[in-house]
Amino acid sequence: MAFYEQPIHPKPTTFLSKYMISFDHKVIGKQFLWYGIFFLFVGGLMALMIRWTLAFPGVPFPVIGKALFPETGGVIPPDTYAMLFTMHGTIMIFYAITPILIGAFGNFCIPLMIGARDMAFPLLNMLSFWLAVVSGVILLGSLFTPLGAAAGGWTSYPTLSTLVGSPGTGQTLWSLAIFILGASSTMGAINYITTIITLRAPGMGYFDMPLTIWGLWLTAILNAIFLPVLGAGVLLLIFDRVFGTTFFLAGAAATSGSGDPVLFQHVFWIFGHPEVYILILPAWGIVSDLLAFFSRKPAFGAKATALSMTTITILSTLVYGHHMFTTQMSPLLTQTFMTLTMTISIPSAIFFANWLGTLWKGSIRFTSPMLFSLGVVFVFGLGGLTGLYLGTVTTDLYLHDTYFVVGHFHYTMAASVLLGGFAAIYFWMPKMFGMMLSEFWAKVHFWITMVGLNGVFFGMMMVGYAGMHRRLYNPFVYEFMQNMIPMNKMITYSAYLMGAAQLIFVVNFVHAIFFKKEKASDNPWEVGTLEWTIPSPAPHYNFDKIPVVKCGPHELGNPNLTTGRDFQYQTENLVEA
């Protein structure tokens, strides 16, 4: 589809066509945003219940504990604890982070930032959202099955996830929900890839695209390639549970010549390690753009940043074995995976250095999107450095399955992606809803979140280094762990502080949408990318005339500009500006 073949869709006139069964990428992006925020609340509540159990073992959970667990007087029982950390991980990764960064901002930003009127396949786009809703309903429904939801960890390794380890239907529904969500995300990925390749505005080469689009494009490529691998794995797991096959049955290889639980680990992590980059690449792209926008200067090494992200995308397909150093794989394989893991840190260091180069001597505006972007720089740097210890075989043998791993991947994935998501919400809020969030409360939200977040995740790495293993209901039955009780209480207090900070965001968000009367200006951040050349909020047709791109996305601070502003729109060349 060429740019001149894009029709202007008729304006929706009914409630259903405007807010529910919509083909408009902007409405679908908002739907994914609300979907992700809802599951962020559910997964966050589960996290607080987990932390309460670790800080105060045997003490009833406050307020709602007795209503949820009347048979134990409000104390969270061990089987429920296993269910909580399984569902927390699953919800946060697949149902909160993915919908917000990829579903919401992928849908909303891609056509607007490349100068298109909609996605390449609007019907497929609408179906991908409602398929995700079906998946979410199935997952939440598993909570109400007789033996409860899945409890085999978010990775659901056999034999914990076979009928031997999880006899109830909750694990089967978990597998079905993940399979359906994988189909939804694959549909979205195909749409993103096709849209970016075929519907870019005339004049927009690949290196004229904002780095946000680079991150979303590379994420979509990884999703399209590796989500079917996860889908195949959970489908085989469903066959084992429902139809009696033996793909992952322990000991089956000795009798029938087939079946191995470790096979699932291979299948899972072939998808699972690219999934780390599927989640973080959009945040990297968003942060790379926002650092330039609010430093008021071109992104340092923008092409190198795009190529580094591309290199990481390629290498991410080759390093999955570092998750399996303790499965008795061949030493030759462990050395190979360790070398590849160390190699992927090189392009990561390049674009991280580019972030610092962008900030250097910039005229920095400390707006809320910039603060959250700087937060990503800090937490990802800390998370990336701690990952080197887990990518090295000798240190991983000690640290594997401890809370050091939990702290590390929460820094790299949870913290980086959460802060990147908030940066995106604060930045594109005027374009999505026509309203600005309160800058004062946004900054309060940021600082309290940063204090709580670092207290939780750095504390986790400390207790993990001391030997505290994850997934234990009560680690303090071990005498050597009892000295870690005060540290665990500190982590829990930090988690509750971080949770309270999110209430500030919710109130700010709801107030801006439903109660604020003052509209945002069309370009409140003074940025030159294509979405800021049209009114805020964006009209249903996006662009009445397809724009022609004449420069890159980061033309800021050029001393030759004579317009009285320090930025140049992508539709302008320097002479016109």
Which residue in the block uniquely carries the two structure tokens 């066509």? 17
What's residue 496's pLDDT? 96
Would residue 125 count as lying in a domain? yes
Residue 554 in domain: no
- Rounded CA separation 526/532 (Å): 8
Question: In this structure, what CATH number is given to the domain that contains residue 178?
Answer: 1.20.210.10
> What letters, b where the CB count within 10 A reaches 16 and e where it falls short, cover 465-484?
bebbbbeebebbeeeebeeb
Residue span of the structural domain in which 123 resides: 12-533
Q: In one letter, which amino acid is 186?
A: T
pTM, to two decimals: 0.94
Within a domain: 541: no
The answer to whether the bond into 537 is cis (omega within 30° of 0) is yes
How much is the pLDDT for 257? 67
The answer to the question of residue 549 being in a domain is: no
The Cα–Cα gap between 84 and 87 comes to 5
Q: With respect to residue 570, please indicate whether it lies within any of the assigned structural domains.
A: no
Residue 202 lies in a domain: yes
From the CB of residue 356, how many other CB atoms can be counted at a distance below 10 Å?
12
SS (H, E, C) 72-98: HCCCCCHHHHHHHHHHHHHHHHHHHHH
With respect to residue 176, please indicate whether it lies within any of the assigned structural domains: yes
Quick one: DSSP state of residue 533?
G
pLDDT number for residue 3: 43
SS (H, E, C) 9-25: CCCCCCHHHHHHCCCCH
pLDDT value at residue 4 = 45
Of the CA atoms within 13 Å of residue 181, those in its CB half-sphere come to: 24
Check whether the bond before 159 is cis (ω within 30° of 0). yes
Whole-angstrom distance between the N-terminal and C-terminal Cα of the chain?
Answer: 31
Position 267 in a domain: yes
Q: What is the pLDDT along the chain (577 residues), one digit of tens a residue?
A: 444 467 777 777 778 877 788 899 999 999 999 999 999 999 999 999 999 999 999 899 998 888 889 998 999 999 999 999 999 999 999 999 999 999 999 999 999 999 999 999 999 999 999 999 999 999 999 999 999 999 999 999 998 999 988 998 999 999 999 999 999 999 999 999 999 999 999 999 999 999 999 999 999 999 999 999 999 999 999 999 999 888 988 776 667 667 888 999 999 999 999 999 999 999 999 999 999 999 999 999 999 999 999 999 999 999 999 999 988 888 888 999 999 999 999 999 998 999 999 999 999 999 999 999 999 999 999 998 999 999 999 999 999 999 999 999 999 888 999 999 999 999 999 999 999 999 999 999 999 999 999 999 999 999 999 999 998 999 999 998 999 999 999 999 999 999 999 999 999 999 999 888 788 899 999 999 999 999 999 998 899 899 999 999 999 988 887 777 889 999 988 765 5
Q: How far apart are CA 397 and CA 413, in angstroms?
A: 22
The structural domain count of the chain equals 1
Query: What is the dihedral angle through the alpha carbons of 116, 117, 123, 126, rounded to the nearest 10 degrees?
Result: 90
